[in-house]
Structures are given as C-alpha cells and as structure tokens.
C-alpha cells in the first residue's frame, strides 16, 4: 500500500526516543547505568533501598533527617487495610504477580489521595505503594501456604522487614543487606516495557495506582520480569555443571534462548549483574550450596562467545539464584522485581505528569479497504 511506503516503521519501538528524562541514564554499549546522575556501582555498594527511593522520587540523595522522615512514611505504609488482606485471601490461588496487581489496584479504594494527581500526592502514593507492595507479596505468600500473615516489624528496614514478613524470622544481617542491594539494583531502568506502560497510563491523566497496576501487569511477561524464575527452572533442568555445554548447544540449536542472557539495551554485561555475581558466589558458599553457583558459572562460560556478539548476562541471571539461596519460593521472584521497581514507576509517572503529552503512536494499516458489506443472513 502507498501508506506503508510513506511511513518509517519502527517495530518494537526499537531505538525510538519518546521524551527527555532526568531519572536514569543507560549506556548499553559501555554497560553504564546512572540513577539521577549517580553510578549504579556507587549506589549498590553504599546506599540503602530507602535512600534510592528518596533519590528517585525527589531527585537528590537524602540527608539523615530526610531519610528518617521517608523511613517513617514507608513504615506507616506497610500496614494493609483488612479489606486488602481479605482480597488477597480470595485471590490466593492466583500467581503472586496477579495478586500483587489486584491488591495494588484495590488499594485505590483506601487511598485518600486517589483523585489527586499533584506531584505531592503522587509522591505520597508512591511511598505508600512501595511499602504496601512488600506487605502484599508476603501476606499472599503466607496465606497460600496456610499460614497467618505477620504484622510488619517497625524495628527493621524495608528489605529486612520483607524477609521477616515472609519467613517470620528476623533475617541474618548479610541476607538483609543482599536483599536490600537487590532492591537497589531493580529500582529503575529507563523506559523499559513496564515503565513505558506506566507512562502511557499517566499520559491519559489516570492516577498512580492505575500506572503501577499497568506496570505490574507488563512486568509479568517472561521477556521482561520473568527471567529470574526461568533461570532457576533452567538450573534444575541442567542438573549438574557437567551437563551445561550440552544444554546450551541443544537449546541454541533448537532455536531456543538461554534465559538470563540478552537485553534490548545492553550489548555488554549488564552492570547490575556484576554486583549480584560476586554476592551470589559468597551466598552460595555461606548457605552450603556452591553447586548452584557452579552451574551458573558454567552457563556463563559457555555463553562467552555469544556475549562477544552482544548477548550477555543480565541482572536476572544472578538474582534468581540469590532469591533461591535466601529461601524464597520461585514463583515470588517476579514480584520481588516489581516491589523494587515501584519507586522507578512512580518517578516515571511524576516526570510524565510534569510535562504531560498523550502517548499515542500509530499503526500502519495493511488490511483490506472498502469491502462490500454483507448482511449476516447472506454470509456463508
């Protein structure tokens, strides 16, 4: 068609810039990631998740006083309304991400700021949703396992409280620190598919609960947030590190993909994976499960020729192993990613609202034109 010839089609919006941002910078060739100008390596080594929440939402690193204020707000936001706990009970047989999406959506009925899209109200809602997401995931995990949900522990930071509300035990400080770092590394990543969904939602002037609900829905797909879970399934399928070369060869020969590898933006090692790799190794030794790490290292080695072509390990390659070693059930892995990403989605929505424009691309039509209409009783 003439129309198709005129347009420049960019399937998958590959390499398309849709706006300007001040939130994060990704250099996919150099493997560089900045949040608000700060290098992810510095942030991962030196900042708590709470500091990152502040940084993403306010644009600057917090002072001690600002951090204490945010911490208090996050702790207040951990308590779920009883109706939300009931919603979780009703939907307990669904996947953790479906329950998270449903409960975040249902929280709109209990948020006094729901109709207010001002930056102040959106920020307040973002903090509350960041805190509530953790309680939703842990409450659901316990209910579906036949246990009673636990009250949040106000003595613990965000990551430690998450592990506590899941298991009922105050976590080892190193486990809590690792969980915290994982949340830091997952907090924001530009206009990925789920953040794009959140921004499209905000572009219609819908509220933050709608945008975060959309973000969770989009993150659920295996091409985006599901890879950590798939990596654990792959490890189980491989069995021992001796089987790795055959597994890689057969999978690639059959046209399959090696999960935890490849990224739309990174064409070198994902800088977030660098941190988790060392941590996963140490954790594997501390938990007496070095075999799991040996399999992952063998996969990494076997994939080296592909990494030279730009298909390198991504953040999810190691995060799944870490969650597993922390005793977290496999089907919660994507929800952990979602919990960490709520501040990123909120920052994206705040930025979209600050200079809003309806996100409405075009499709080039390739179907029939002007067909003669046939009434239903004349159709064969």
Indicate which single residue of 263, 275, 277, 324 sits in contact with ligand COA (rule: CB under 6 A).
263
Contact between 261 and ligand COA per CB under 6 A: yes
Contacting residues for 40 by C-beta, under 8 A, at least 6 apart? 33, 34, 185, 271, 272
Q: Would you say 67 and 158 are in contact if contact means Cβ atoms under 8 Å apart? A: no
Say whether 263 is catalytic.
Answer: yes
Residue 202 or 219: which CB sits closer to ligand COA? 219
Contact between 31 and ligand COA per CB under 6 A: no
Say whether 58 is catalytic.
Answer: no
Say which of 111, 270, 279, 316 is annotated catalytic. 316
Residues in binding contact with ligand COA, number by CB under 6 A: 13
Place of tokens 């809590």: 176
Apex 215 CA angle, 209 and 218, nearest 5: 140
CA–CA separation, 378 and 328 (whole Å) = 60
Contact between 258 and ligand COA per CB under 6 A: yes
Say which of 41, 58, 95, 224 is annotated catalytic. 224
Contact between 264 and ligand COA per CB under 6 A: yes
Residue 18 or 73: which CB sits closer to ligand COA? 18
Find the part of the chain contacting ligand COA (CB under 6 A) among 17-25, 202-210, 251-259, 275-283: 251-259
CB of 226 to ligand COA, least distance (A): 7
Q: Return the closest-CA partner of residue 23 out of 74, 75, 60.
A: 60
Contact between 79 and ligand COA per CB under 6 A: no
Binding-residue pattern over the window 212 to 231 for ligand COA, x denoting contact by CB under 6 A: -----------x---x----
Indicate which single residue of 96, 102, 314, 335 sits in contact with ligand COA (rule: CB under 6 A).
314
Contact between 321 and ligand COA per CB under 6 A: no
Indicate which single residue of 260, 340, 343, 344 sits in contact with ligand COA (rule: CB under 6 A).
260
Say whether 316 is catalytic.
Answer: yes
Q: Which residues bind ligand COA (CB under 6 A)?
A: 223, 227, 257-264, 311, 314, 316
Catalytic residues: 224, 263, 316
């Amino acid at each position: 068609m003439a129309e198709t010839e005129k347009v420049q089609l960019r399937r998958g919006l590959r390499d398309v810039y849709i706006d300007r941002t001040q939130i994060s910078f990704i250099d996919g060739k150099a493997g560089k990631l900045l949040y608000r100008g700060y290098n992810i390596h510095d942030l991962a080594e030196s900042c708590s998740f709470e500091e990152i929440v502040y940084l993403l939402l306010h644009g600057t690193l917090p002072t001690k006083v600002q951090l204490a204020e945010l911490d208090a707000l996050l702790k207040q936001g951990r308590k779920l309304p009883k109706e939300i706990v009931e919603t979780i009970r009703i939907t307990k047989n669904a996947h953790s991400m479906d329950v998270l999406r449903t409960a975040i959506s249902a929280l709109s009925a209990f948020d006094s700021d729901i109709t207010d899209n001002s930056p102040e109200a959106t920020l307040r809602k973002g903090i509350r949703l960041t805190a509530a997401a953790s309680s939703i995931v842990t409450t659901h995990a316990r209910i579906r396992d036949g246990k009673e949900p636990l009250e949040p522990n106000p003595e613990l930071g965000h990551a430690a409280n998450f592990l506590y509300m899941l298991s009922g035990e105050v976590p080892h400080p190193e486990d809590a620190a690792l969980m915290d770092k994982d949340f830091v590394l997952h907090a924001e990543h530009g206009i990925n598919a789920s953040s794009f969904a959140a921004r499209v939602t905000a572009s219609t002037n819908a509220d933050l609960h709608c945008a975060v609900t959309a973000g969770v829905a989009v993150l659920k797909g295996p091409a985006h947030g599901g890879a950590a879970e798939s990596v654990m399934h792959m490890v189980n399928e491989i069995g021992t590190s001796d089987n790795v070369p055959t597994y890689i060869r057969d999978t690639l020969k059959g046209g399959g993909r090696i999960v935890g590898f490849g990224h739309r933006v990174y064409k070198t090692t994902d800088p977030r994976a660098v941190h988790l790799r060392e941590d996963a190794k140490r954790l594997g030794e501390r938990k007496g499960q070095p075999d799991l790490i040996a399999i992952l290292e063998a996969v990494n080695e076997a994939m080296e020729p592909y990494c030279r072509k730009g298909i390198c390990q991504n953040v999810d390659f190691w995060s799944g192993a870490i969650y597993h070693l922390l005793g977290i059930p496999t089907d919660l892995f994507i929800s952990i990613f979602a919990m960490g990403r709520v501040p990123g989605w909120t920052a994206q929505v705040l930025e979209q609202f600050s200079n809003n424009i309806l996100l409405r691309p075009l499709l080039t039509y390739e179907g029939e034109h002007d067909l003669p209409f046939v009434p239903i009783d004349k159709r064969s």
